Amino acid sequence: FASKLKDPTLLVEKAFVAGQWITARNGATFDVIDPATGQKIAAVPDLEVEEVNSAITAAHRAQKPWAKLTAKDRASSLRTFYDLIVASADDLAIILTAEMGKPLQEAKTEVLYGAAYVEWFAEQAKRIDGDVIPGYQLDKHIFVVKRPVGVVGAITPWNFPSAMLARKLAPALAVGCSLVAKPAAQTPLSALALGVLAERAGLPSGVLNVVTSTDAAMVGSTFCTSELVRKISFTGSTNVGRILMRQGADQIKKLSLELGGNAPFIVFDDADIDAAVEGAVVAKFRNAGQTCVCANRIYVQSGVYKEFSEKLSRRVSGLKVGNGFAKGTEIGPLIDGNAVKKVKEHLENALSLGACVTVGGKSGEPGEQFFSPTVLVGVTSEMKLAREETFGPLAPLFSFDTEEEVIQMANDTEFGLAGYFFSRDLARIFRVAEDLETGMVGVNTGLISTEMAPFGGIKQSGMGREGSKYGADDYVNIKYVCLSVA
């Protein structure tokens, strides 16, 4: 795939520490595999604890001078960084598709979506405003200022290798933090390419570091036990989120956690059914169902169940499965063998408990890690897929009768990331939007992510928000200054 790149220097097989491109001291590397073909496409350094600590030290050294720049200067660097990402979007998309598998067009959309956070926080850098509060005595003046938390350890997943990192580095760097990023071992190349562009944008050495390693537990515990790392920002599974929270407890580490979801997608009798079908396709099958905000449970009111399931099945039967580089591909491979196994397991469990496939249900075509987009009818709450995130292209349709019943079912989960519903009844829209126990709600839309809105979950889906003016809050400490002037 490297021959497809206009700028081959964006493909790097070294880690980025203290402004240097390094190999592991012991020379160890690990392979990056194209999930569509199973072929090795690159090998990157498998760093150990010493190198991770070097990155933390570099970030610590760089942070104070970076924070001492004017907000306008940081904004200007980030704006340059943004411009470079956009100018290289085609190449970054190629790298992303090669390591992760998603269709090239979706990869480009992800790169630009991530870039939008860099643009937004370049603008927002100048608006980290404080407050002046009336004093409690005549001589007292109360000032509230916001200060960067310091060095941030960022751990990101493989499903959005470019955007998940951009969503963290943009607010962190904007407010004056520095960052050590640990991309998922499956997809380190997109993060390294962002490192190249950050360097080109003139970001000072050590402000952004990218460490690659197969030992995620070592990196996580090094971040959590380092006195220099003041905050962990993590996107990934709820289980790993729990580990980081436990490990961070000793030092009361500040945490942002964007964890698993189990999104309900509700279609009421009064919905525009065609729009609901389109919404479900986007919310369920984007990234082959591998997003944390993917519709996991689709609840359809009994009066429109038949119409909705037929229309959705017809639409899904037309989705094109294939290599992400092939023209017209809408569904790429799953990330690895375990992902395929999980979808199969959820499917088989549902079938054994009485569900039926209307379309799809097959794996192995056109390669081992592909799973055809699938619609299941006759689904019930006893099935595994009602409780666990499938993270694959499996759309289970549950039937319900009343609004009260569906709200109860939708909220019957420990997760609370995204929820969606389709309705044209204004009163119901307000009621249901309020009653869903999630951090985000899409009403009559299956697509809710934007840099201009606060992304994040409640319950065991995590804490903190990424994007919008709220997104900067995760990276600042509030300091109150009491000034006595008689």
Q: Catalytic residue numbers?
A: 258, 292
From CA 80, how far away is CA 118, in angstroms rounded?
A: 10
For ligand ADP, the closer of residues 155 and 300 by Cβ is 155
Closest residue to ligand ADP using C-beta atoms? 220
Q: Does 464 interact with ligand ADP (rule: CB under 6 A)?
A: no
Q: Does 216 interact with ligand ADP (rule: CB under 6 A)?
A: yes
Dihedral pair phi/psi, residue 440, rounded to 5° = -140, 140
Structure tokens at 130: 């404080």
From CA 287, how far away is CA 105, in angstroms rounded?
A: 11
Please list every residue from 171 through 210 that binds ligand ADP, using CB under 6 A: 182, 184-185
Q: Considering the complex, what minimum distance in angstroms separates the CB of residue 269 from ligand ADP? A: 36
| Choices 61-69, 74-82, 212-220, 416-424 (CB under 6 A): range interacting with ligand ADP | 212-220
Count of residues that bind ligand ADP according to CB under 6 A: 15
DSSP assignment of 312-377: HHHHHHTPPBS-TTSTT--B---SSHHHHHHHHHHHHHHHHTT-EEEE---BSSSSTT-B--EEEE
Q: Considering the complex, what minimum distance in angstroms separates the CB of residue 392 from ligand ADP? A: 12
For ligand ADP, the closer of residues 100 and 277 by Cβ is 100
Name the nearest CA neighbour of 30 among 22, 17, 38, 41.
41
- Which H or E element spans position 60? helix 49-68
User: Cβ-count burial of 95 within 10 angstroms (0-12 exposed, 13-18 middle, 19+ buried)?
Assistant: buried
Q: Does 245 interact with ligand ADP (rule: CB under 6 A)?
A: no
Q: Considering the complex, what minimum distance in angstroms separates the CB of residue 326 from ligand ADP? A: 25
Q: Does 75 interact with ligand ADP (rule: CB under 6 A)?
A: no
For ligand ADP, the closer of residues 279 and 416 by Cβ is 416
Q: Does 133 interact with ligand ADP (rule: CB under 6 A)?
A: no
Residue 395 contacts residue 298 (beta carbons within 8 Å): yes
For ligand ADP, the closer of residues 22 and 155 by Cβ is 155
DSSP 158: S
Binding-site member from 37, 53, 76, 237 for ligand ADP (CB under 6 A): 237
| Choices 240-248, 278-286, 436-444, 454-462 (CB under 6 A): range interacting with ligand ADP | 240-248
The residues, any chain, with a CB within 8 Å of residue 303's CB and separated by 6 or more, are 269
Q: Does 49 interact with ligand ADP (rule: CB under 6 A)?
A: no
Amino acid at 55: A
Name the nearest CA neighbour of 436 among 297, 305, 303, 278.
297
Binding-site member from 43, 133, 217, 356 for ligand ADP (CB under 6 A): 217
Structure tokens at 399: 């039937």
Binding-site member from 86, 243, 458, 463 for ligand ADP (CB under 6 A): 243
Please list every residue from 81 through 110 that binds ligand ADP, using CB under 6 A: none
From CA 408, how far away is CA 456, in angstroms rounded?
A: 22
- Which H or E element spans position 420? strand 418-422
Q: Considering the complex, what minimum distance in angstroms separates the CB of residue 260 from ligand ADP? A: 8
For ligand ADP, the closer of residues 3 and 338 by Cβ is 338
| Choices 21-29, 114-122, 152-160, 166-174 (CB under 6 A): range interacting with ligand ADP | 152-160
Residue 189 contacts residue 267 (beta carbons within 8 Å): no
Q: How distant is the alpha carbon of residue 383 from its chain centre?
A: 27
Q: Does 220 interact with ligand ADP (rule: CB under 6 A)?
A: yes
Q: Which residues would be at the binding site for ligand ADP (CB under 6 A)?
A: 155-158, 182, 184-185, 216-217, 220, 236-237, 240, 243-244
